[in-house]
Amino acid sequence: MAYLVLARKWRPQNFTDLIGQEHVSQTLANAIRSGRIHHAFLFTGARGVGKTSAARILAKALNCDQGLSDLPCGICSSCTEITAGQGLDVLEIDGASNTGVDDVRELRENIRYLPNRSRYKIFIIDEVHMLSTNAFNALLKTLEEPPEHAKFIFATTEPHKIPITILSRCQRFDFRKIPLVRVAARLREISDAEKLTISDRSLSLVARQGEGSMRDSLSTLDQVIAFSGDEVDDEAVQTLLGMVDRRLLIDTVEAVIQRDSRRALDAARRIDQLGLALRQFTQDLLEMFRGMVICKVVEEPAEMLDLVGDELKDLKALAEEASLEDLQRIVTLLMKTQSELVHSSYPLLTLEMSLVRLATLAPSQEIGKLISHIENLEKRLSTMPLQKAQSIPRQSTPEIPQRSTPEAPPPKKPEAPVAVSTDSKGWQGLVEKVKQSRPMLGSVMEHGRLLKLEPPVLEIGYPKESFMISQLQEQEISQDLEILAAEYFGQPIKLRVSAIDVKQLDTPPSLVEARHAKETDRMRRLREDAMEHPALKAVQSVFDGKIKKVIPIDKGFV
């Protein structure tokens, strides 16, 4: 007799055999007992979690010769035919190879006929998401008004590819990945029944390799048996599966937590000598630290971690040696290393440098001190403008002397230039006065360049292409400006507006240009000061960060 693989030999035969899918089993069993059986079911979930097996069990429950029951007998002709995949009234269709509309039309023709000898004609379509759009459209009418003797069971790993019009006509059941502990327990039952000598540790490795899939785990166990025979050695399983020895992982974790760079490098050397995949090692290491974070924040971590035996106890002990902040930073850096290994030309060097960096991370307590230093720095910077204002004499742009104070007005001589006293703001003061009463006119003046200020002459220059020249040359605007200037300087003022070539003529900048240059220089000096600050350098070193923007905390800083 031909050898039957474990995945087929130990396939679930009733709802109680569906490991990890109790929510599905209970719902289907209750529906059968109550007689409330839908005409279309959709089973979704990852590969190897029991979707097709559940479809066959449901088919047996509906067509069992001994009556409709949530516990089919498994020995009648109908049950045995369905188990063998040879039921006359249960058609299993591969959606991947029957994707066309013609295939669905043939199915629709078949549906019209009554079952040969069973209660229902059942259609099981696996990987139903592979059907074409036209095939789904052809199936839609049948699902909307199916004959009483027809039942549909769809299975898929990608439900998002199924049209919503099909989904809305089905009862959906989501199959979950099976927890590692449940898979390992089932593997133990099967191993004992098969009279295999294998340790719990090896079964744990096999279960972990299956990644929540019972079928994949059984296929892996078949591979282990073929390699080792009926007596399975732990090292043989580890070598065959290319998995990292847990002792080596623990050594690496301890080296990182205890900040032992030499020991961390030795772990990388051992991984390389054993010929193990560096990405797999990094992935396993990342899972270890993830588990430690969960142990820190969850009271019952066993519910979230796929660990068996003493693994959880070891992980909790390791987690006690590190702070949550340190573990979070380690996880972040390992995720970065995992992506870097994909494109690295020197993967071993990449891993070594990553482990050294992890082992030399500054403790989180020191980061707290750095943050405190930064806060103190901010406080000092916020008070700096006032201190500078008290110690540094105010500097102003040289201006032509303006008129004296009102207490001693100078004699007015309109026909000749009059000196303006030095306590006046000159050109800038005039612009501020104009902006108070004529904001738009003051804005135009801000963009002009002062060419001459020798009362009664005031000459302002603008680039040749500037539209502001024509504005100030309008008689009404120029007269208003002359009146405001006369009030400010205390004597008549004659306005001149000139077109200039700023590239060829050496002229002073406009007030807008001067203010922008001052602000730019201020930001440049502020950024230089920030980049050179020891506290900021320390933060950059710890977090491997880059300064994108420097924001002044006080606009008065100069």
Tens digits of per-residue pLDDT, 426-475?
A: 888 889 888 888 888 888 888 888 888 888 899 998 888 777 888 788 88
CB 361 within 8 A of CB 255: no
- Of 199, 172, 173, 165, the closest CA to residue 184 belongs to 199
CB 294 within 8 A of CB 315: no
Can you give the pLDDT at residue 440?
83
CA distance linking residue 188 with residue 186, whole number of Å: 5
Flag whether pLDDT at 106 surpasses 60: yes
**In the structure, what pLDDT confidence band is assigned to residue 543 with cuts at 50, 70 and 90?**
low
Residues in CB range of 140: below 8 A, 6 or more apart: 165, 166, 169
Flag whether pLDDT at 396 surpasses 70: no
Q: Specify the higher pLDDT residue, 239 or 399.
A: 239
Residue 91 to residues 107, 120, 144, 260: CA-CA distances in angstroms? 10, 11, 20, 63
Per-residue pLDDT of 477-506, as tens digits, reads 888 888 888 888 888 889 888 888 877 667
**In the structure, what pLDDT confidence band is assigned to residue 189 with cuts at 50, 70 and 90?**
very high
Flag whether pLDDT at 404 surpasses 50: no
Residue recorded with tokens 């009664």: 456
pTM higher than 0.85: no
CB 107 within 8 A of CB 123: yes
Task: List domains and CATH numbers for the chain.
Answer: 6-174 (3.40.50.300), 180-241 (1.10.8.60), 246-359 (1.20.272.10), 426-508 (3.30.300.180)
Q: Specify the higher pLDDT residue, 377 or 183.
A: 183
